[in-house]
Amino acid sequence: MIWNPKIEQMGRDEMTALQTARLRETVARQYRNVPFYKERFDAIGLAPEDIRSLDDLKLIPVTTKEDLRNNYPDKLFAVPRREIVRIHASTGTTGKPTPVGYTRADLDMWSECMARLISMAGVTADDTAQISFGYGLFTGALGLHYGLEKVGCSVIPISAGNTERQIMMMQDLGSTVLISTPSYALYIADTMERLGIGKDTIRLRVGLFGGEGSTEEMRAAIEDKLGILATENYGLSEVLGPGVSGECACKNGMHICEDNFIVEIVDPETMLPVPDGEWGEVVITPIHREGMSLLRYRTRDISRIMPGECPCGRTSRRMQKLRGRTDDMLIIRGVNVYPSQIEGVLIGMDGIGPHYELVVHNHRTLNSLEVRVEPTDETMLVDYGRLIEMQKRIRANLRTVLNIDADIKLVEPHSLKRFEGKARRVTFVNDED
Amino acid sequence: MFIKQLSVFLENKKGRLASLASVMARNGIDLYALSIADTTNFGILRALTNDTDKAARILREEGFMVNTTEVIAAEVDDRPGGLAKVLDVLDAGGIGVEYLYSFVRNPSDSALILFRVSDTEAAFKALTEAGVRLIGLDELSKK
């Protein structure tokens, strides 16, 4: 079912006109309400009125994660706090999250986008949806939650973790829709296998997955093991959360909610748009946000606009499944991790050297992070316990900043690679499960 | 009567122990006693050698992480109760044992136990008073 045929099947000219009008309003409002953008425009002699068409968008400098950090916590909010009804936050590179504010209208817009993506995957009011994303500051769970309720599904806000209970609820309440990261879906499937629970004892039929990328092989494994149609959706909290784009049942690229977001694919060196069909970095401009809007936000994600029309009948442009990132961000069990965060923790600690190496172990279902460091304090050799103690201390400090547990491995002094110039400290290992 | 012991950090990685042993051999370091404790990812090798300062210097040059500490070598009767007697003395003196390991010089000799204790001076005094024979490095080097 097409949730909003008027928008989702709008003709190209009409959509361009709608986007242009909303872009111009957004630029004017940002210039007026957010000092950061006014200064940025003034500095390069750009006036809001100079942005007349979608083509003019490229005149605006991109907004980066660093800009968000520099405007911590809420200097980019475009309305007074009393109009903000929700604050989410995304993980940051320095340990501090970057907050995002939503007005009531923003939440309505978000639910609308989600309702479209949910309907596009074939989910209706007759479905029972189990949300196995972690609730909290992370936008995934609540974004899907409101959208599913808007569609009329029975929502089970079970949150992440406790996999055996997840399976029990799936069986007892007859959940038909699973909302999670793809890796957690596969983990649930493997747990069922281990417990000898057949897929015929559950009624799942559709999965809406997001929060991290996945391969087509992984999708095929999830579909086979759980007996479902697995769709993917995309978004990031800086611009809204999930809801920017998502796959319909054709699994043929993610339909962009174009009335609310302008998605550009740009050359990461020049920040200029590349022709449709070419790979590049995704840059997003929300054009229908009140609480906090960003002009040309650099996502660092790599995708392309897919050519041709989708057989589903929607006219919206589609982005292909992400192919990677242009920075060094890692996603460990659904959590964004930057090597610089780890470096910050390690450099502040006594007894270990400044060199480190990160090893991401990709198991078939979940990945894990190993941090290798060189102890330097020879007096620790007196007592075995002191080395163990240090391992624990590093782990605890990393946990505070990253929110995940890493495996700490102490290695011999001088054994880690030294780099001249650009360091490559991350290696990926595929482990047998 | 204290003996200087060598402690070396060893990563659990194939060939590390062999490379340490060959560094020692190349430099004429004689190993009298050896003990390794390990976890799944690293271990500490402890050894008595004929020249621990030299061994430490050479290993550091080779990139090993090394430390030296003082331990006590006590002779114990090689029969049931031999070790218990020595431990009782330390216990009575309120001296904690951090770790120990044993070795035998010649099959005919009594056993030697190496102790790393919380208070080396106090242990030395207590053991000597109790009549336990402590061995020095000079005696170890006689073969």
Residue-range definition of the domain harbouring residue B77: 71-141
- Check whether A228 has a pLDDT greater than 90: yes
Cα distances (Å, whole numbers) of residue A383 to A10, A205, A376, B43, B114: 71, 56, 14, 11, 15
Mutate which: A381, A386, A414, vs B, most B CBs within 10 A: A381
C-alpha distance from A376 to closest chain B C-alpha (Å): 8
Q: Which of A99-113, A137-151, A277-291, B115-129 has the lowest mean pLDDT?
A: B115-129
Write down the pLDDT at residue A335: 81
- Check whether A219 has a pLDDT greater than 70: yes
Mean pLDDT confidence for A149-158: 98
Do B130 and B101 share a structural domain?
yes
B101 has a chain A CB within 8 A of its CB: no
Mean pLDDT confidence for A121-129: 98
Q: In angstroms, what is the C-alpha Rg of chain B?
A: 16
Do B119 and B102 share a structural domain?
yes
Write down the pLDDT at residue B142: 62
Q: Do A37 and A295 form a contact (C-beta atoms < 8 A)?
A: yes
Mean pLDDT confidence for A372-392: 88
Rounded CA separation A93/A72 (Å): 12
Which H or E element spans position A353? strand A352-362
Give ipTM to 2 decimals. Answer: 0.80
Write down the pLDDT at residue A267: 94
Of B44, B64, B69, the CB nearest to A384: B44
Q: Are strands A407-410 and B31-38 parallel, antiparallel or unpaired?
A: unpaired
Mean confidence (pLDDT) of chain A: 92
Do B94 and B42 share a structural domain?
no
Of A379, A381, A414, the CB nearest to B44: A381
Residues 6+ positions from B34 with CB-CB distance below 8 Å: B45, B46, B47, B48, B103
Question: Is A375 within 8 Å of B41 when comparing Cβ atoms?
Answer: no
Do B95 and B51 share a structural domain?
no
Q: Which of B48, B69, B90 delimits the end of a domain?
A: B69
Mean pLDDT confidence for A215-233: 91
B10 has a chain A CB within 8 A of its CB: yes
- Check whether A233 has a pLDDT greater than 90: yes
Task: Identify the CA nearest to A55 among candidates A318, A262, A261.
Answer: A262
Do B135 and B99 share a structural domain?
yes
- Check whether A116 has a pLDDT greater than 70: yes
pLDDT band at A94 (very low <50, low <70, confident <90, very high): low
Write down the pLDDT at residue A345: 86
Q: Which of B69, B84, B99 delimits the end of a domain?
A: B69
Write down the pLDDT at residue B123: 92
Do B59 and B103 share a structural domain?
no
Do B65 and B31 share a structural domain?
yes
Model pLDDT for residues B18-34, shown as the tens digit of each residue: 989 999 999 999 988 88
pLDDT band at A93 (very low <50, low <70, confident <90, very high): low
Q: Do A164 and A195 form a contact (C-beta atoms < 8 A)?
A: yes
> How many percent of chain A have pLDDT more than 70?
97
Do B7 and B64 share a structural domain?
yes
Q: Which of B37, B69, B101 delimits the end of a domain?
A: B69
Mean pLDDT confidence for A127-145: 95
Model pLDDT for residues A179-216, shown as the tens digit of each residue: 999 888 988 998 898 899 999 999 999 999 998 877 78
Cα distances (Å, whole numbers) of residue A139 to A110, A157, A303: 11, 14, 22
Model pLDDT for residues A25-83, shown as the tens digit of each residue: 999 999 999 999 999 999 999 999 999 999 999 999 999 999 999 999 999 999 999 99
Write down the pLDDT at residue A432: 64
Do B26 and B9 share a structural domain?
yes
Of A378, A383, A411, the CB nearest to B11: A411
Q: Which residues of chain A neighbour B118 with C-beta distances below 8 Å?
A: none
CATH of the domain at B40: 3.30.2130.10
* Better-predicted residue by pLDDT, A12 or A422: A12
Rounded CA separation A370/A406 (Å): 6
Write down the pLDDT at residue A365: 72
Do B116 and B62 share a structural domain?
no
Of A382, A388, A409, the CB nearest to B7: A382
Write down the pLDDT at residue A423: 62
Model pLDDT for residues B65-104, shown as the tens digit of each residue: 999 999 999 988 878 888 898 999 999 999 999 889 988 7
Do B135 and B75 share a structural domain?
yes
Q: Give chain A's domains with CATH numbers.
A: 5-326 (3.40.50.12780), 335-430 (3.30.300.30)
* Better-predicted residue by pLDDT, B39 or A317: A317
Model pLDDT for residues A331-375, shown as the tens digit of each residue: 888 788 888 788 888 877 888 887 889 999 988 777 899 999 999
Mean pLDDT confidence for A118-128: 98
Domain count, chain B: 2
C-alpha distance from A338 to closest chain B C-alpha (Å): 25
Do B65 and B94 share a structural domain?
no
- Check whether A421 has a pLDDT greater than 70: no
